[in-house]
Amino acid sequence: MKHAVIGYATSKGVAMMTKEDANRLTHVNLAFGTIQDGLLYTSKLQSLSELDRLRSYNPKLRIVLSVGGWGAGGFSIMAKSRASRKAFVDSVRDTMDRHRLDGVDIDWEYPCSGAADIDFSADDRENFTHLMRELRDMAGNRIVSIAAGAGDYFTRDTQMDLVAEACDYVQLMTYDMRSGFSRQAGHHTALDAGPDDPDGMTVKRAVQLFRNAGVPDSKLVIGAAFYSRRWEGVPNKNNGLLQPAQTVGLFGPGYTELANNYIGKNGWHAFWDENAQAPYLYNGSELISYDDPASIAAKCKYLREQGLLGIMYWEHSCDPSRALLTAMHEAMA
């Protein structure tokens, strides 16, 4: 089985992508196109000028335009009618043709939810399915994919069995599973969890949720984090793990910065959670959760054993050292 290794890359991430990077990936997701006045909008996406360079590095690399992201609205209004969906789908087709893109990735965060202060409706559940089917009909043999939130809120508010039929693959955002909504300091991108963490979301629990919702293993892609989450005001108990914090999970440093300035340095102590198969840092009052080469290797081993399609990560520019992409490449070789 040929496994997918997919990197989300902002314009900064694409600009720093090397020939070696491009040949370690099967797909690049360009982040992000947005929706304006119901149509796909890309004029601020600087990475489109880099596509010929990426293709010269690896002609087999599939370059996919990702639309949306956290806080990107317009989906619910666009998807509410056949006519408005058609206008959007036509704009996606035109963009793919113009830039010779290999597909489109829909990152709607999230149907039926206003958590990100975007437009939403109870009708999003069915309209999401309509949108993905219509993109599928338009795309032909080009890629249609989604990024899916790793939680029961996403499977509850979508028809994942029908959406999966329209998709080449479903990318589970198995990061931020403890995030800007959680005051419990803990793992945000762990493979598994021990008995002391019965309710925390993990890669394994998210995969089972989507299996139960009708997504076949052959279309499941799990996620890795090239950045960290950080909690402050964490009691010095159990090295801070699973303790109540004074903050929610703040966006933390990328892996290269962690390796250079945090891991085992400047008062930060590194720990490995065998149950979670994940690392974390604690300095007596703050906890940082992240992926490292060992946790990446564990995720890759799991997906291969389970027959899943592959692994993706957010985001390429967070690790200029390439330590995590190297670990991913070696584990998937």
Q: What is residue 71's DSSP assignment? A: T
- Across-strand partners of 107? 68
Question: Out of 50, 109, 232, 330, which one is annotated catalytic?
Answer: 109
For 301, counting Cβ atoms within 10 Å of its Cβ (0-12 exposed, 13-18 middle, 19+ buried), the class is middle
Say if residues 314 and 66 touch (Cβ distance below 8 Å).
no
d(CA 296, CA 325): 9
Contact 66, 28 (CB under 8 A): no
Q: Hey, how many other C-beta atoms are within 10 angstroms of the C-beta on 108?
A: 30
Three-class SS of residue 60?
A: coil
DSSP output for 295-333: HHHHHHHHHHHHT--EEEEE-GGG-TT-HHHHHHHHHH-
**Around Cβ 82, how many Cβ atoms within 10 Å?**
11
281 - beta bridge partners? 270, 288
Residue 20 annotated as catalytic: no
Strand, helix or coil for residue 144: strand
CA distances in angstroms from 249 to 59, 196, 260, listed in the order given: 39, 19, 21
From first CA to last CA, the distance across the chain in angstroms is 12
How many Cα atoms are found within 13 Å in the side-chain-facing hemisphere of 307?
5
Give the residue numbers marked as catalytic: 109
